[in-house]
Copies of this chain bind each other. A is one copy, B any other.
Amino acid sequence: MSMQAVPLAKAYRLLNHGPTVLVSAAADGRRNLMAAAWCMPLDFEPPKLLVVLDKATYTRELIERSGEFVINVPPRRMLDVTVAAGNRSGREGDKFVELGVAAEPSQRVAAPCVAGCIAWLECVLLPEAHNQSRYDLFIGEVVAARADERVFSDGRWHFGPQDDALRTLHHVAGGAFFAIGEELDG
């Protein structure tokens, strides 16, 4: 198992470079996942994050009912799953089954983690009715974080030549993505 705990004070670093994410949630025996490009850190410690969730999404409904969600960072080899997760609704069936992805248990919340992802940030919703209704904007406090030690350790992402399939995805629009590229030292 290559998923290792990330100290909460360093959890923001999993999202700091702007990857596209999968949001997963569960309530009343149902579960779902969706893709989201609008997700970023909001605070260091306790770590908080922001995610924009359209009113039409079933995942949002599950989050509003359960007060919990997981932010999953999909790697390049999950590009097709990420595109498909953004293009269909989970209201009809079980999108985990339809997309052929497995759910992994979370440590602190009931929402499932998406197997194959390279980071998992388990979140408790911090309710802000005005932001949620006016801007579709949700705030989560990160209560547990894990990442794939092959590409994230000592608080840093590191993608070697052998890790191309594990690079993060960054959505531009309409199914056009970038993989994250070369490491630079400023």
Cross-interface CB contact of A175 among B43, B76, B178, B186, cutoff 8 Å: B186
* Chain A 123-173 residues near chain B, CB threshold 8 A: 130-131, 135, 137, 139, 155-157, 167, 169-173
Give 8 CB contacts A-B under 8 Å.
A16-B170, A18-B18, A37-B41, A42-B135, A43-B135, A167-B181, A176-B183, A181-B181
Interchain CA distance A34-B113 in the complex, whole Å = 36
Given contacts A13-B172, A17-B172, A177-B186, 19 further A-B contacts (CB under 8 A): A10-B173, A16-B37, A16-B170, A16-B173, A17-B18, A18-B40, A18-B170, A43-B135, A50-B50, A76-B184, A83-B186, A156-B173, A156-B176, A157-B172, A170-B170, A176-B183, A178-B182, A179-B182, A180-B180
Minimal Cβ-Cβ distance residue in B for A180:
B178
Q: A172 and B156: CB pair below 8 A?
A: yes
Cβ distance A101 to chain B, nearest Cβ, rounded Å: 15
Q: Which residues of B contact A171 (CB under 8 A)?
A: 16-17
Minimal Cβ-Cβ distance residue in B for A126:
B135
Contact status of A82 and B172, CB under 8 A, knowing A17-B178, A42-B135, A181-B179:
no
Q: B155 and A173: CB pair below 8 A?
A: yes
Minimal Cβ-Cβ distance residue in B for A139:
B135
Q: B181 and A185: CB pair below 8 A?
A: no
Interface size on A, residues (CB 8 A): 48
Cβ distance A178 to chain B, nearest Cβ, rounded Å: 5
Minimal Cβ-Cβ distance residue in B for A83:
B186
Interchain CA distance A130-B128 in the complex, whole Å = 10
Q: Which residues of B contact A178 (CB under 8 A)?
A: 17, 157, 180-184
